[in-house]
A and B are shown apart, each in its own frame.
Chain A
Amino acid sequence: HYNQRDPMLKKRDDFEDVLEERRNSSDLRYALRCYTPVLYKGVPPCKSSMLKSMVLQSDQLHYVISQVSKETGRKTDEVQEEASAILDEMAHCQQLSTVRFFAFTLSKVFKSLFRSICVNEEGIQRLQQAIQEHPVVLLPSHRSYMDFLLMSYLLYTYDLTLPVIAAGMDFMGMKFVGEMLRMSGAFFIRRSFGGDKLYWAVFSEYVKTMLKNGFAPVEFFLEGTRSRTSKSLTPKLGLLNIAMDPFLKGEVFDVSVVPVSISYERILEETLYARELLGIPKPKESTSGLFKARKVLSEDYGSIHVYFGQPVSVRSLAEGRVNRRQFNLVPRHIPGKPGEDIHSFVNDSAYKLVRAQEENMVLKPWVLLASLLLQNQAAGPKEGLPLDELTAQAVWLRDLSRQYGAFLHWPDQMTPSEVVSSSLSLHRGLVRICEGKVQLAVEQGLAATPEEKLLNQAVIVLSCASYRNQALHVFLRPALLASAIHTASSTQKQEVFNSFSFLRNMFSNEFILCPGATVQDFEEASYLLVKTGAVQVSQQEVVVTEGGHRTLAFLIAMLDPFLQGYQVVCRFLCEEATETLTEKQFIPAVRKFIIKHLLAGGLRYAEVLSSDLQKNSLAAFLRLGAVQKIKGYVGFDHLECLVGPPSRAQNTTL
């Protein structure tokens, strides 16, 4: 049972600040120093031209080329040339000189932006070991553009083989920067190439060739894109599928997957993301745009924590789960759709890896403050929290989160009030302290219309929410249980479980909830709530204790914005959506509906305006069968069952 892995007992490594040395010695010498990374089985890195020809000469690609040529009637040479062009567009051409250039400039930039960049050196040692033994896949979390530059910077600093990074084509729009990134080891993939067999073949063969030969660690973002909300995103499986393939087909003994958690004390793109979520469109990546962003350089962004997790062996993940013999009956160069079992294996692995990222995310005290301030703000139009009360609440929450296993960096050498005030001062753009009372800085600016005023408020709220979201993974399961207890019609354990299971199912597009792990999650949540004395669980019943109400209230309030959000989207679908609606129309229409209700005062949470939540809820309703997709339109069936009490249709029993 769950209590065997008490989150409190989770052992994590210590951090070292890599900027410290940069502040004390020459950046130039650092950029020009001798770089001699350890290699996988001593295999030297492969020249990009050599890599390209290996890909073009592979059996896999030959097969697909002749297949495409047969299907389209084009000449093989022509298709071959197209493949070669795709490869040119895609391939990295890492050059040490460019890397050195980045090492120099990034040192300057990082020093001016951040107080420190802390890295767990034991993780680096484990990575070094892993690189020598097996092909390595690096999976950093993705919260900022900075992420992959930072990763390469760190690997260079620690004399590790530089990774080759899968980047979205949008970077290619920035001509100069795109090429620079390419020379630092990025390769570019189109955002969508659904049916393009040839593209897929070139791309997957390119990645596999690098992995199989162990030329360099392959790095990509499991979440596919930067999370604008700081919540982990539902993992994308394409690249992970490719990365696991050489193992599944026996071409390598094992692949080591290393989840990396990068936590920013202050996110560079903070308000940018909030605006994007509110429907102010994302600026197209352009070089000039990047220079405009120079003003960000003058600000203080606190520290970054990078935690290199325990390398995960794909072999051990697959042990007892995948029957590798299925790949023995067809030549391996013939591409085939992965079967259901492989799909679910990769999916489960992806969730495990994202959770591993989450677990090692460093949380700053501000994350707790943001949670408290948001709850306070939603509780009603008050004057804000007195500073000492906020401090007291923060200490309470600190202890709770630690008991839940949070990787909290609370400077114990400072008094709690010092901690709180230094956090508030770093995030002074989001909070206001007025007469000893703290609240979110939501009443600023000269807004012409109430709607504009609301949107300005929402920018602050969403920015704050992005910090609260960093802690969501810690509280999520207990919060689901707390809400389940709250909504269940009785204290019967089965009843509570059904309610839990319903909520969990509904939110599985919103949060990282491993598929099929309902019972484990329920056990984990029960364990934590029981451990902290908030509830008592007997064979039959789940009862809230006298002292547990505070915890439960906090947890319920944490989930409430999401619950309200899903409800309002539901209401929108019932009340406003006439029969069918295109997907494009959905977001603007639902936003309008929500603004109306927020202004009318019927809805308390401005964060419901987040397009992320709206999209997730629609996806959930689609998945649950409440909504149907008809050739680009979205249609609605029986919504009643959703708006009503938790469905009893869930038959899982404990």
Chain B
Amino acid sequence: MNAAMASNSSGGGSDRQRIAQQRLRIIAGHLRRPVDVDSTILAAECKAQDSKTDVSSEGKTVPRRRQEIMKWNGWGYSDTKFLFNKKGQAEFTGKRYKLSGMIMPALKDWLEDTFGTNLQHKSPATPILTSSAVQPPTLNEAFVEELKSTGIPFSHDAEDRVFRAHGHCLHEIFALREGKVGRVPDLVVWPNCHNDVVRIVELACKHNVCLIPYGGGTSVSSGLECPPEETRSIVSLDTSQMSRILWIDEKNLTAHMEAGIVGQDLERLLNESGYCTGHEPDSMEFSSLGGWVATRASGMKKNIYGNIEDLVIRVKMVTPQGVIEKSCLGPRMSTGPDIHHFIMGSEGTLGVVTEVTMKIRPMPEYQKYGSVVFPNFEQGVACLREVAKQRCAPASIRLMDNEQFKFGHALKPQVSSMFTSFLDGLKTFYITKFKGFDPNCLCVATLLFEGHREKVLQHEKQVYDIAAQFGGLAAGEDNGQRGYMLTFVIAYLRDLGMDYYVIGESFETSVPWDRVLDICRNVKLRIIQECKDKGVQFQPLASCRATQTYDSGACVYFYFAFNYRGLSDPVHVFEEVEHAAREEILANGGSLSHHHGVGKLRKEWMREAVSNVGMGMLKSVKDYVDPNNIFGNRNLL
């Protein structure tokens, strides 16, 4: 979102410039590629079915060699990271984000106070991947031979394979930072269109090769981990090159895309035509359309646009049994159970999503951020509940607890003028002294309104009036905007923490309204207690926020991190605590997942989540669609 947002505010000129730069980088990357005879990429461009309406194939952000722009052992772009500069101040490098190039003076103290970290005690990552750490590929020669003849590019370069062997779970990144690599795909293949995928799947079936679809690589459910017990050759099917918008239908407000397109490209390209999907998951810079469909993703602005299941009109998925798709573009059907619901959330166990028809909307005329301070979390939740009851939720409404509020403050960039800092001080004084808010209890809701200008203003007033009933005070647009920006930046922060013995993770659930407060309190306390019981030497950070509201409940996000100095097996401790936290979530009426999915990380609870019969239904679908377990990532079931 930030990329899209940033470009909105900074105007089209720099946008074009940036795209051009990116292309240059990508091309340069290709040119620099070492010539490796074994892993030659056969560049036979495959044409999409209807090239006349191929709106754009320009501006691809994701090259085949992801490592050219992204970190191999951390989050996001290589040029972007937090670090402590020579003066010991926290700095965010690069140029991509609003926060980029800025100094955050309060971050150091916050880290030290929250985790007991010390800048002297570093736990740096292994700088480069040693190829010897990667097992040589197990290749299915017959498959490779036939694949070559199709002209579809592929590679068995170690870096390419390692890049596609993980998502962003803590244990995955931690292992990479230590230079440890487990089972990785034996081959990476880059289909360029639906028909390429059909051919690859046919070949995989023919030669009994295991296929693991790969979209944006942002999984946090161990979904991309290669099953260590898999003895067949594993082929990672990277959809990143299938990223075209094939057509836009302005009469019906729909668009047809290839499933490999990542969120930021999709929004940017549609914006160029004056449209958007409005689907903005926090990972949208990197996550792909196909990945959203396969995990039942949820976007920040779902209150206006809906979640992925509300946005999808038609999906094409290639399975070992053939292609599954609906025969029309009708807006709703009564044709038995919706086959899309076998596809959505199938997590790559049934096939590869290749093309999606999705709803689009005209770009909003006006956007406005906002924020409200509440005296405590209870009042904040009560306000969100009321907003949901009156069904007047803005595009996005999120409630951060006190810990996150403080964290947000720690990321405030250095203030340039005396006046701003004076104004900040005045605001703080007003809220804490004049209004009597306890700085250790207060919490903040961030808001984003979208639509016609007058309606937005009207809407804004309605929401602020409700907030006032719960003791909320409007706290300005800046706080709101910063809140949303942090969403994208926070993932980078974990890498900084890991440089200083701090490990952490976020996880989510959905829960009925009447249990929101209980689940938040109990899960946070459980984390603290488990850390203590497991010998963690420092008080952990346990924090949460309500990120989505529904008629009957909310989505709650938890952040949890601790300083692991003194622990012999920090990842094990971490996993035990995370496991306990999930148990606590389930015990308190929370769901197994709201939008991250099950993957392999949460598989053990799946049967209980959907009942024996439910499990049997899913299994029988799998048995029919993929009897030989070609799509063998072993997620979900």
Contacts and interface: CB of A to CB of B under 8 A. Distances in A.
Contact of B587 (A250, A251, A331): A250
Contacts of A254: 525
Contacts of A324: 587-588
Interface string A316-346: 0000000011011001100000000000000
A327 B521 CA distance: 17
A145 interface: no
B518 A250 contact: yes
Interface string B522-560: 100110000000000000000000000000000000000
A331 B526 contact: no
A616 B526 CA distance: 43
A253 interface: yes
B106 interface: no
B525 to A, nearest CB: 4
B521 A253 contact: yes
B587 A325 contact: yes
Interface string A243-269: 000000011011000000000000000
B514 A250 contact: no
B94 interface: no
Given A324-B587, A325-B586, A253 B514 contact: no
B586 A253 contact: no
A323 to B, nearest CB: 8
Contacts of B525: 253-254
Given A331-B514, A332-B514, A250 B589 contact: yes
Nearest to A331: B514
Q: Taking chain B's interface residues, is the majority helix, strand, or loop, or is none over half, making it mixed?
A: helix
A253 B589 contact: no
Contact of B518 (A251, A325, A331): A251
B188 interface: no
A328 B608 CA distance: 13
A253 B526 contact: yes
A203 to B, nearest CB: 23
Contacts of B588: 250, 324, 328
Interface string B499-526: 0000000000000001100110110011
B586 A250 contact: no
Q: How large is the interface on A (under 10, 10 to 19, 20 to 34, 35 or more residues)?
A: 10 to 19
Contacts of B586: 325
A392 to B, nearest CB: 50
A324 B515 CA distance: 13
Interface string B583-625: 0001111000000000000000000100000000000000000
Given A331-B514, A332-B514, A253 B587 contact: no
A328 B526 contact: no
The winner among B521, B526, B587, B608 for most chain A CB atoms within 10 A is: B587
Nearest to B588: A250
Interface in A516-560: none
Contacts of A331: 514
A152 B49 CA distance: 84
A250 B520 CA distance: 10
Interface string A295-331: 0000000000000000000000000000011011001
Residue in B515, B589, B608 whose Cβ sees the most chain A Cβ within 10 Å: B589
Nearest to B590: A328
A396 B515 CA distance: 60
Contacts of B589: 250, 325, 327-328
Contacts of B526: 253
Nearest to A327: B589
B530 to A, nearest CB: 12
Nearest to A324: B587
Contacts of B518: 250-251
Contacts of B587: 250, 324-325
Contacts of B514: 331-332
B593 to A, nearest CB: 16
A254 B608 CA distance: 25
Contacts of B515: 250, 328
A328 B586 CA distance: 9
Contacts of A250: 515, 518-519, 522, 587-589
Contacts of A328: 515, 588-589
A194 B589 CA distance: 31
A331 B515 CA distance: 10
A209 B14 CA distance: 60
Nearest to A251: B518
A478 to B, nearest CB: 36
A253 B580 CA distance: 14
A597 to B, nearest CB: 57
Contacts of B521: 253
Nearest to B608: A325
Interface string B570-582: 0000000000000
Contacts of B519: 250
B554 to A, nearest CB: 15
Contacts of B608: 325
Nearest to A254: B525
B428 to A, nearest CB: 23
A332 B519 CA distance: 14
A250 B514 CA distance: 11
Interface in A46-73: none
Interface string B479-517: 000000000000000000000000000000000001100
A312 B514 CA distance: 28
Nearest to B522: A253
B362 to A, nearest CB: 41
A324 B583 CA distance: 10
Nearest to B586: A325
Interface string B458-475: 000000000000000000
Interface in A218-272: 250-251, 253-254
A253 B514 CA distance: 16
A472 to B, nearest CB: 37
Contacts of A325: 586-587, 589, 608
A327 B518 CA distance: 13
A366 to B, nearest CB: 43
A327 B525 CA distance: 20
Nearest to B521: A253
A558 B518 CA distance: 51
A74 B240 CA distance: 69
A608 B338 CA distance: 75
A280 to B, nearest CB: 52
Nearest to A318: B587
Interface string A420-448: 00000000000000000000000000000
B590 to A, nearest CB: 9
A428 to B, nearest CB: 54
A626 B588 CA distance: 45
A249 to B, nearest CB: 8
B181 to A, nearest CB: 36
Nearest to A328: B589
A327 B588 CA distance: 8
A253 B522 CA distance: 5
Contacts of A332: 514
A328 B590 CA distance: 9
Nearest to A248: B587
Most chain B CB within a 10 A radius of its CB, from A327, A328, A331: A328
B611 to A, nearest CB: 12
Given A250-B588, A324-B587, 5 more contacts: A250-B589, A253-B521, A325-B586, A325-B587, A332-B514
Interface of A: 250-251, 253-254, 324-325, 327-328, 331-332
Interface of B: 514-515, 518-519, 521-522, 525-526, 586-589, 608
21 contacts: A250-B518, A250-B519, A250-B587, A250-B588, A250-B589, A251-B518, A253-B521, A253-B522, A253-B525, A253-B526, A324-B587, A324-B588, A325-B586, A325-B587, A325-B589, A325-B608, A327-B589, A328-B515, A328-B589, A331-B514, A332-B514
The 9 closest A-B pairs by CB, nearest first: A328-B589, A324-B587, A250-B588, A253-B525, A250-B518, A253-B522, A250-B522, A325-B586, A325-B587
